[in-house]
Amino acid sequence: MRVPPTSAALAILLGCGAPSPTPASPTPVASVAAPAKSADATPPDAAPRDAKPPEVKSPDAKPPDAKPAEVETPPEVKPPEPDPAEPEAPALDIEYVPTPRNVVAKMLEVAAITKDDVVYDLGCGDGRLVIAAAKTYGARAVGFDLDPERVAEARANVEKAKVGHLVTILQKNIFDVDLTPATVVTLYLLPELNVRLVPQLEKLAPKARIISHDFDMTGYDPDDIWMIVAEHHRPPPKRRKHYVYLWTTPLVKLEP
Ligand SMILES: C[S@@+](CC[C@H](N)C(=O)[O-])C[C@H]1O[C@@H](n2cnc3c(N)ncnc32)[C@H](O)[C@@H]1O
């Protein structure tokens, strides 16, 4: 009886060789060969044959389930709320007009200022009186003004004149200032403002000098009055007479 050929015997008979032996060591998982590719295999980075051309999205394209874009209305523009911390524009009792330089010199001269004096200018404008008192006589001086613009200007002038060690500029209402440290007070205000200052001026120590440009102090007789001709501070050039009044404390009220 014929024994059917084994598969090995058949392979020999057909000339196909023996089956390959089992590898000696296991192939690491990572190097397991990729499944065999068919002849028409797509290169790894190529798009699949039936893929549609990629959609070119604009950078701000919304995901497909995003709601339709709403048209943005510009925000309502409101005027800024006033900052309560910011001081309001001060209500000045008199606007700024500078005393001409030669009148400044006369005011300080008639006050007979020395380096021991303390000069207060009430409404100091650009600081010219207090600066001159320090520069010419070596006196200490304080300028008061309510207008922040004048205060800044006066402080800059003090720095420029290099008298910062003698002169201080303060933003203060002149009607709130304690005048008792002053030995000389200079004024270029108005007659009614000079009179309003009397309660403060009456507190000055004896022998203090009060000097006013152009305006009297109704009810109080000055020690003396001088007249000086000076150029107007603004063009066109115009000369006029200026007056300088001097009082020495204690102030004496005239009999009605
Ligand atoms: C006519 S100017 C005199 C400036 C300076 N004394 C001079 O003779 O050149 C008056 C000044 O007073 C200031 N002023 C007005 N009212 C004031 C007040 N209540 N307190 C402080 N300063 C005031 C003004 O800003 C202005 O600079």
Tokens at residue 138, please? 């070596």
> Ligand 1, closest atom to CA 92?
16
Whole-number Å distance, alpha carbon 205 to ligand 1 midpoint, is: 24
* The predicted structure's pLDDT at residue 256: 79
Percent of the chain scored above 90 by pLDDT?
60
Ligand 1 site-directed mutation target among 88, 93, 151, 171, most atoms within 8 Å of CB: 93
Q: Over 90: is that where the pLDDT of 9 sits?
A: no
Q: Over 50: is that where the pLDDT of 73 sits?
A: yes
Query: Which protein residue has the closest C-alpha to ligand 1 atom 20?
Result: 173
Ligand 1 pocket residues where CB is under 6 Å: 92-94, 96-99, 121, 123-125, 128-129, 144-147, 150, 173-175, 188, 213
The model's pLDDT over 98-110, given as tens digits with 9 standing for 90+, comes to 999 999 999 999 9
* The predicted structure's pLDDT at residue 138: 98
The model's pLDDT over 207-250, given as tens digits with 9 standing for 90+, comes to 999 999 999 999 999 999 999 999 887 888 889 999 999 999 99
Half-sphere CA count of 224, side-chain side, radius 13 A: 8
Better pLDDT: 193 or 81: 193
The model's pLDDT over 141-168, given as tens digits with 9 standing for 90+, comes to 999 999 999 999 999 999 999 999 999 9
Contact 111, 162 (CB under 8 A): no
For 101-248, give the CATH class.
alpha beta
Give the Cα separation of 196 and 181 in Å (integer).
Answer: 19
* The predicted structure's pLDDT at residue 34: 33
* The predicted structure's pLDDT at residue 77: 61
Contact 127, 101 (CB under 8 A): no
Query: Which protein residue has the closest C-alpha to ligand 1 atom 4?
Result: 125
* The predicted structure's pLDDT at residue 86: 52
Claim: this prediction has a pTM higher than 0.75: no
Whole-number Å distance, alpha carbon 233 to ligand 1 midpoint, is: 15
Percent of the chain scored above 70 by pLDDT?
66
Residue type at 124 in one-letter notation: C
The burial of 248, by beta-carbon neighbours within 10 Å (0-12 exposed, 13-18 middle, 19 or more buried), is given as middle
The burial of 18, by beta-carbon neighbours within 10 Å (0-12 exposed, 13-18 middle, 19 or more buried), is given as exposed
